[in-house]
Amino acid sequence: MCIVRVRRNHLVRDALDEIARQKAKDLFKPLRVHFIGEDGIDAGGVKKEFFQLLVAEVLSPDYGMLCYQPESRTYWFCPVTLEAESSFLLLGLVLGLAIYNGVLLDFPLPLALYRKILGQEVGLRDLEDMQPALGKSLRALLTWEGEGRVEDVFCQSFVVDVPSFGSVTSASLKPDGEALPVTDENRREFVDLYVDFWLNRSIHVQFEAFAKGFLMLCGGPALQLFSATELERLVCGNPFLDFDALQRAARYEGGFHPEHRVVQWLWQVVGQFNAEEKRLFLKFFTGSDRAPIGGLANLRCIVQRDGADSNKLPTSHTCFNTLLLPSYRSREKLADRLKLAILNSEGFGLE
């Protein structure tokens, strides 16, 4: 076993330290996670929560490793960062560990990153996917055929503005770029250099360290069998959630069966949840709010009767995709208890 022990209130630092101290061969062993001071025994569910909480903290602006791109709702490497290369290597290892241990992550990275991992070239179309407004501006520059010269209309030189800890600095795209205007003749060169800066040059150190960590666990000839989209699905799962398929695939224990009134109420209530509530229910039930490759029909989920009617909340064994549901006396009570449970479901035991 590869055993990782972490504290919730020092999750990122503990996790990176614990992963860094492992021998390379131990990373290929089944991962077990223990939250210090908690009672949870990791049969899979604690591990899922560990990865989800770790990713959520790493994506926080406090760490300055990744920058949020609101137009595409994805994260990209910050061109200017105080984090060491080792931190990006360990971040790549975290993604590799999640894949290796079959844990889906809510880690919205653009397809450009997966293309780079696969050794594919990235270009303007990738930048358009990540930052549509910027991509549209560059495309407009390339296709401009209106009145006036390009240098008079766009007033652009061979420089790029780079956000840096709340301020903006300028970087030259080529020697003496500040004094070189973009013209009809060199606008293609400008766009190529601009795209290369954002997707390659400015984040070269961060990406290379990240890729090295990722490929330590997930490298090899088999990786080339995947497309960028398939690799993304391997990390993040399928965002499309077909709860009808989940219902069809569900099994029942403890006296429940598909026609039992409580089971019928359960699926009626879930069917009336909004999209966010459905994701919370799935996370409460299985430990992940994404579907595995192949969809929710591939989840082996169990709904088990947990005693007669009572005021206690539904519980779950996320390790085994099992929902423990009391036999509530009314649909309204089931809906109230279930909503309360899915909104307050973090943690295994008391610290």
Tell me the CA distances in angstroms from 183 to 144, 147, 177, one per residue in order: 11, 14, 13
* 243, two tokens: 């709860």
Query: Looking at 2, 155, 218, 319, which residue is catalytic?
Result: 319
Q: ∠ CA 55-57-59 to the nearest 5 degrees?
A: 70
Residue 319 known to be catalytic: yes
Instruction: Note whether 43 and 15 are within 8 A (CB).
Output: no
Distance CA 228, CA 197 (A): 21
The burial class, CB within 10 Å (0-12 / 13-18 / 19+), for 100 is middle
Q: What is the largest CA-CA distance in the chain?
A: 79
Which one, of 292, 347, 285, lies nearest residue 46 by Cα?
Answer: 347
Length of the chain: 351
Catalytic residues, by residue number, are 319
